[in-house]
Chains A and B, each alone.
Chain A
Amino acid sequence: MSKSVKLHVWGDAACFTRPEMKVERVSYDVMTPSAARGVLEAIYWKPQMRWVIERIHLLKPVQFTSVRRNEVGTKASASNAKSAMKKGTGALGLYIEEQRQQRAGTILRDVAYVIEARIEVIDTSEPVEKHYHMFKRRAEKGQCFHRPYLGCREFIADFAWIEGDLPPTELPEPQSNRDLGFVLLDIDYTPAEGKSFDVIEANTGKKLLARPQFFRAELKDGVMEVPPVSAREVVS
């Protein structure tokens, strides 16, 4: 039960942050599958379905640039929020002026990709065509739940539905075949057993364990094939 879609996304800048360099951010060379999923989910998503990224086409040469940005050094405290909920009063504020961190980022510039993905339905009472056509209508009209972005919220993405041929690639020949090293595939969530958990699912309140999954990415003729989560080359 699946149906493939193709979406052209592009933007002036992008930062698909590598986990090992996510403090002074350094981007991956190519859009990660989880970032691609984020773009698609910004346009259309329902709890009855799931996006599976199949491959990502790289349309422009990889160019980096370096910027310095103001970021914030702390997270809002969950325990403070909890106690404020119980008491009905409390300080929840986070003052960015006090928590400011100036950090460097090595980000991508002038990017364009084609995301190929398919829809898998979880609730089989509805046909996959329903989701496919809803997505298609929304993408053609430029509708989205929130503005899709390329890795970070500040790098907004433009998108266009593709029917038929892919847009022409500007990728130079030597760049289109290479090893990209280990790239984040996605986070695998499993129900937590016992006390320790990593996240709480927002809509159900279930406690989950999160395990990052990586795969050995390779660019072949400008295309990065994304293995399914169960594939052998996926490591977690």
Chain B
Amino acid sequence: MILQKLNDYYERLATDPDHEIAPFGYSVQKMSFCAVVPLQGNSVQFRSLVSVVSNGRAISQTLVVPGQSKPPGVGVNPCFLWDNAAYMLGYRADDPKPERTRQQFEAFRDRHLSLESAIGDPHFSAVCRFLEWWQPEHVAEHPELAEITQSFGCFRIQGEIGYVHQRPAVREWWGQQDSAEDSRRGICLVSGKQRTIARLHSPKIKGVKGAQPAGGAIVSFNLDAFDSYGMQQSFNSPVSEQATFQYATALNLLLSDPSRTVMLGDATTIFWTESPTQAETYFPSIFSGPPLASNEAEDAELKTQLAAFFKRLAQGKQDDLAHSIEDATTPFYVLGLSPNAARVSIRYWLVSTVGQVSEHLTRYVNEVELVNSPDPTPPTVRQLLRETARDTKDIPPVLAGSFMHAILTGGPYPLAFYQAILRRIRAEQLIDKDFRKDWIRGLHRRIAAIKAVLVRNFKKEISVGLDTTRPEPAYHLGRWFALLEKIQRDAQGENLNTTIKDRFFTAASSTPASVFPRLISLSQHHLNSIESKGLRISREKLVQEIASRLQGFPNHMNLEDQGLFHLGYYHQVQDLYTKKSASKSIPSAAESE
């Protein structure tokens, strides 16, 4: 099904005039120069195809050209009517091996000359005349070459519009060329039609994190243990050459689009829908944040759009901008790929609908919502996963996959994720401040993650802010602890370097009975030294309010209670500081940690 759906995606793009996608037998390549030759082929001018965009970056023109780029390796493989300057002109800047460059040019020239009679097009013949006339020594007369030959080049005839490789006669001839390999016909698994079956699947899949830079293949059979019934290589699974090309081209296109690609854990994940929707480019940002735009203004605009999108999601509105009502049933596909040597394996594959995915994402956005969030958008999956380990590289890859899967399907979050978050909270109270610049955000995200797990896995209903009527004692213990700490600050000054939190937080959240009585008696001293009588009374009242909800201190708290403790603490801290001054809440709350 995966190959079928990718093939469908290719066809969707092929019928979309806004997209440039290479037809079967062609590829999209970056061109930096063009050789303009007259019909006699006895002179040449070189034109640059590089355009400079506003921010000073040079962008080569992309053109659809016949054939694929060269296979890796040392062989001499000239392309057809396009190539790099070494093949086209026998020129290479600072050439280490002039002999080889000469061979390349000769191979390129001979290939074209041998095809002249078969093609029989005047423009193609002009190129042949040019190749006969041109000597690599002519380069000296064209100093501009040094600057413009960084990418590929192609041919154009003087006074004509369009390139030689776009000529109808040339295209017609190219379309008739079968791959020279021993062709085998059969039924294609993707299209169901009688076609030439691909022996190897090309083009290679590029852009999967950790895979070989030259690209990998989803379908490949390299050892005899994979062969069945005497079939060799990809004849084991009959897929036509055309379908092979189409699915791989579509997949490469998806993988090269940063707004659809999410790299999490060991997998590279892509998102697409059956027909164009905004969801397919908006949804991935829930996982890895907005893609980097090419300039700041665009970036800012994108961020505002996304913030608005998440806000609508959080309010539970079926998002009108992202998809209209009839779009809700549009199939939505998520494909996770991970590398295994030269092969690309399917990590996960999910078929859903835009409506369903949108519903699940809404749930996630609601679950992670908290008061006084330091970010305008909800924490992304990448950010939450970041909080499960000390260093980004220590995040277990399995966790990323299963966490993402939980969000997309609405299933329970992995408990390993919850445990990892609690472990980091315990381990990192002091280190954080020195270790990470964004530790305030980090703390917020951990609490958000705890809340999400409590809501989904432990079926709790949790508000975004302080909820003084919660039944669980653990939550109120967390509140109490926040209050005890605040009283200490009230008594000894806001800018204390260390508070009771630094020494007792872990113990208070796991074995309250062992520390709370001690902390409470300590707090009496703090209370007595608060100068303002009004403040003292209001604090005492709050202590009584919280204490009235508790019956003794538990000896031990399980993971669920620990999560509630953290949440209660966070809510109470936010509440204590918000009342005083709303604008100050985040930095001061952070100081108190």
A75 touches B230 (CB 8 A): no
| Cα separation A19 to B189 with both chains bound (whole Å) | 9
**How many A-B contacts at CB < 8 Å in the complex?**
94
Q: Interface 1/0s, chain B 486-510, versus A by CB < 8 A?
A: 0000000000000000000000000
CB-nearest residue of chain B to A77: B224
**Set of chain B residues within 8 Å of A66, measured between Cβ atoms:** 346-348, 401
B225 touches A235 (CB 8 A): no
B348 touches A64 (CB 8 A): yes
| Cα separation A19 to B233 with both chains bound (whole Å) | 11
| Cα separation A115 to B410 with both chains bound (whole Å) | 31
**Set of chain B residues within 8 Å of A75, measured between Cβ atoms:** 224-225, 227
B187 touches A103 (CB 8 A): no
Closest chain B CB from A70 CB (angstroms): 13
* CB of A210 within 8 Å of the partner chain: yes
| Cα separation A183 to B63 with both chains bound (whole Å) | 38
* CB of A32 within 8 Å of the partner chain: no
A19 touches B237 (CB 8 A): yes
* CB of A216 within 8 Å of the partner chain: yes
* CB of B218 within 8 Å of the partner chain: yes
18 additional A-B pairs beyond A19-B236, A104-B338, beta carbons within 8 Å, are A20-B218, A20-B219, A21-B2, A22-B237, A66-B347, A101-B223, A103-B345, A104-B345, A104-B346, A174-B353, A181-B1, A187-B229, A198-B229, A199-B229, A210-B230, A212-B229, A212-B238, A214-B192
Closest 5 A/B residue pairs (Cβ): A24-B345, A19-B237, A20-B237, A210-B229, A104-B345
CB-nearest residue of chain B to A28: B1
* CB of B526 within 8 Å of the partner chain: no
CB-nearest residue of chain A to B356: A174
Given contacts A22-B226, A26-B2, contact A235 B236 (CB under 8 A): no
**Set of chain A residues within 8 Å of B3, measured between Cβ atoms:** 20
Interface size for B (C-beta < 8 A) is 37
* CB of A48 within 8 Å of the partner chain: no
| Cα separation A101 to B230 with both chains bound (whole Å) | 21
Q: Interface 1/0s, chain A 1-44, versus B by CB < 8 A?
A: 00000000000000000111111101001000000000000000
Interface size for A (C-beta < 8 A) is 36
**Set of chain B residues within 8 Å of A155, measured between Cβ atoms:** none
Which one of B1, B228, B340 contacts A103 once the chains associate, using CB atoms below 8 Å? B340
Which one of A21, A72, A212 contacts B225 once the chains associate, using CB atoms below 8 Å? A72
Q: Interface 1/0s, chain B 208-243, versus A by CB < 8 A?
A: 000000000011111111111111000011110000
Given contacts A19-B236, A23-B343, A29-B1, contact A64 B220 (CB under 8 A): no
Closest chain B CB from A185 CB (angstroms): 12
Closest chain A CB from B350 CB (angstroms): 8
A23 touches B226 (CB 8 A): yes
Closest chain B CB from A226 CB (angstroms): 17
What is the predominant secondary structure among interface residues of chain A facing chain B?
Answer: strand
Which one of A106, A214, A236 contacts B347 once the chains associate, using CB atoms below 8 Å? A106
Instruction: Give me the interface of B with A, judged by CB distance under 8 Å.
Output: 1-4, 187, 189-190, 192, 218-231, 236-239, 338, 340, 343-349, 353, 401
Closest chain B CB from A170 CB (angstroms): 15
Q: Would you give 16 A-B contacts (Cβ < 8 Å), ordered by A?
A: A19-B189, A19-B237, A23-B220, A23-B221, A66-B347, A66-B348, A73-B223, A73-B225, A75-B227, A102-B340, A174-B353, A182-B4, A197-B230, A212-B229, A212-B238, A216-B192
* CB of A122 within 8 Å of the partner chain: no
| Cα separation A103 to B338 with both chains bound (whole Å) | 11
| Cα separation A198 to B236 with both chains bound (whole Å) | 12
User: A residues 29-67 with Cβ under 8 Å of B?
Assistant: 29, 64, 66
| Cα separation A199 to B228 with both chains bound (whole Å) | 10
**Set of chain B residues within 8 Å of A22, measured between Cβ atoms:** 221, 226, 236-237
| Cα separation A66 to B397 with both chains bound (whole Å) | 12
CB-nearest residue of chain B to A208: B229
Which one of B222, B224, B227, B346 contacts A21 once the chains associate, using CB atoms below 8 Å? B346
* CB of A169 within 8 Å of the partner chain: no
* CB of A177 within 8 Å of the partner chain: no
| Cα separation A18 to B219 with both chains bound (whole Å) | 11
Q: Interface 1/0s, chain A 82-121, versus B by CB < 8 A?
A: 0000000000000000010111101000000000000000
A21 touches B218 (CB 8 A): yes
Q: Interface 1/0s, chain A 194-212, versus B by CB < 8 A?
A: 0001110000000000101
A24 touches B189 (CB 8 A): no
Closest chain B CB from A14 CB (angstroms): 15
* CB of A143 within 8 Å of the partner chain: no
**Set of chain A residues within 8 Å of B353, measured between Cβ atoms:** 174
* CB of A74 within 8 Å of the partner chain: yes
CB-nearest residue of chain A to B189: A182
* CB of A134 within 8 Å of the partner chain: no
| Cα separation A199 to B401 with both chains bound (whole Å) | 41
A198 touches B230 (CB 8 A): yes
* CB of A171 within 8 Å of the partner chain: no
Which one of A26, A180, A210 contacts B346 once the chains associate, using CB atoms below 8 Å? A26
Q: Quick one: which of B3, B230, B346 has the most chain A CB within 10 A?
A: B346
Closest chain A CB from B327 CB (angstroms): 16
| Cα separation A101 to B238 with both chains bound (whole Å) | 24
| Cα separation A104 to B187 with both chains bound (whole Å) | 28
A74 touches B224 (CB 8 A): yes
CB-nearest residue of chain A to B4: A181
| Cα separation A64 to B343 with both chains bound (whole Å) | 20
